[in-house]
């Protein structure tokens, strides 16, 4: 196995823990196996356009606490639908494979969420030595108990709710906090539960404006002159569409959600007369230094992924199962999203505490 060169890329939205994973892959590859490591710049965009650089031990020293990714990322570029100079998207996957060959890469580590890893799964038909490492603040990847980035995001959401709680109580307002979560409500659910949200709205449980208003009024009757509502960006009323902020035409997933928090706040104020305000946490959830848990998780994923490559276990994703990092098939890991169910233990816990889900 000596003399092997491995590549690594980070795709999709950035999140805390990416540099911890890059560090783990690079150091483990160099120290445990004597391999060379090449970092591909800006995710699949760099793979397509042929931009990369060698990563040394020194390059990844002192990056553990850094947010973002030293390699850069892109959530627009796909080798199977790449738009150049304003032209219609086309399949340039053969060009991506040629670049891997030009760099003499024997194995490729793809760090990303559902979009990045779905592309990695598709790439297996042309380059079969790929291993996935799961990251996404949404925590919506199947086959793994948790993705890194999620813990840090939830910590920030909880801290933000704590801060907003004080001003809500002081001004007797309804405060709506919009968090990330397009199709999966894990951030809203866990961050909202930890922050003491009175109403939590998630994509998996379509809400009713009437039930939200009822919950606010009920709190008011009990002497609670304020309410905290935590809403995922993908939450929507039953029978209605998502709140779409804009369309990004050159992206594989062009819909950008946003604005449901404002809609909820406006409706409550118009209906009840209670002064209401909306705060959108947005990209603040992606930034900052990774938490203790995310550093350990990302490090464990990186080291395990390198061990899979050493055993020629390709077409796999590193997954957390019962405290251990184990290989699972990329095909299975990208076969659908891990969503909150109405009978999930945390939903039941929230209901037991009097939290409303707007139904």
For 124, the 3-state DSSP assignment is coil
**14 part of the active site:** no
Distance CA 283, CA 288 (A): 10
What are all long-range contacts of 50-55, with beta carbons under 8 Å and residues at least 24 apart?
50/99, 50/102, 52/7, 52/99, 52/103, 55/8, 55/22, 55/26
Given 138, 151, 198, 294, the catalytic residue: 138
CA distance linking residue 329 with residue 188, whole number of Å: 29
- Locus of tokens 């009097």: 354
Residue whose tokens read 């449901």: 260
Q: Which helix (H) or strand (E) holds 183?
A: none
- Size of the chain in residues: 359
Phi–psi pair at 310, nearest 5 degrees: -65, -25
Four-residue CA torsion sign, 249, 254, 258, 260: positive
Q: How many CB atoms lie within 10 A of CB 94?
A: 9
Count Cα neighbours of 317 within 13 Å in the Cβ-side half-sphere: 33
DSSP helix, strand, coil percent of the chain (3-state; round to 5):
40, 20, 40
Please give the positions annotated as active site: 138
């Amino acid at each position: 196995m000596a003399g092997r060169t491995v590549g690594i890329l980070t795709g999709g939205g950035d999140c805390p823990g990416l540099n911890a994973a890059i560090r783990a892959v690079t150091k483990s590859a160099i120290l445990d196996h004597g391999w060379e490591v090449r970092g591909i710049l800006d995710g699949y965009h760099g793979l397509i356009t042929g931009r990369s650089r060698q990563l040394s031990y020194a390059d990844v020293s002192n990056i553990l606490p850094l947010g973002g990714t030293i390699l850069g990322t892109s959530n627009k570029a796909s080798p199977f639908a790449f738009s150049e100079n304003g032209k219609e998207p086309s399949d340039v996957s053969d060009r991506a494979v040629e670049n891997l060959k030009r760099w003499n890469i024997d194995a490729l580590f793809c760090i990303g969420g559902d979009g990045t890893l779905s592309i990695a799964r598709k790439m297996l038909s042309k380059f079969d030595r790929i291993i996935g490492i799961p990251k996404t603040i949404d925590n919506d990847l199947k086959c793994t108990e948790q993705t890194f980035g999620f813990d840090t995001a939830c910590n920030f959401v909880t801290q933000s709710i704590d801060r907003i709680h004080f001003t809500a109580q002081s001004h007797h307002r309804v405060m709506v906090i919009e968090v990330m979560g397009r199709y999966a409500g894990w951030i809203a659910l866990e961050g909202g539960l930890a922050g003491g949200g009175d109403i939590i709205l998630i994509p998996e449980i379509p809400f009713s404006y009437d039930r939200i208003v009822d919950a606010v009024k009920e709190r008011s009757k009990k002497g609670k002159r304020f309410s905290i509502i935590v809403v995922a960006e993908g939450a929507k009323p039953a029978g209605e569409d998502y709140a779409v902020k804009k369309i990004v035409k050159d992206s594989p997933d062009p819909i950008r959600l946003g604005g449901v928090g404002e809609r909820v706040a406006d409706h409550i104020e118009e209906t009840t007369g209670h002064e209401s305000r909306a705060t959108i946490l947005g990209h603040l959830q992606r930034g900052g230094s990774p938490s203790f848990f995310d550093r350990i998780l990302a490090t464990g994923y990186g080291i395990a992924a390198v061990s899979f490559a050493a055993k020629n276990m390709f077409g796999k994703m590193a997954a957390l199962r019962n405290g251990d990092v184990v290989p699972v098939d990329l095909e299975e890991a990208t076969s659908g999203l891990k969503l909150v169910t109405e009978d999930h233990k945390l939903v039941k816990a929230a209901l037991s505490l009097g939290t409303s889900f707007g139904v």
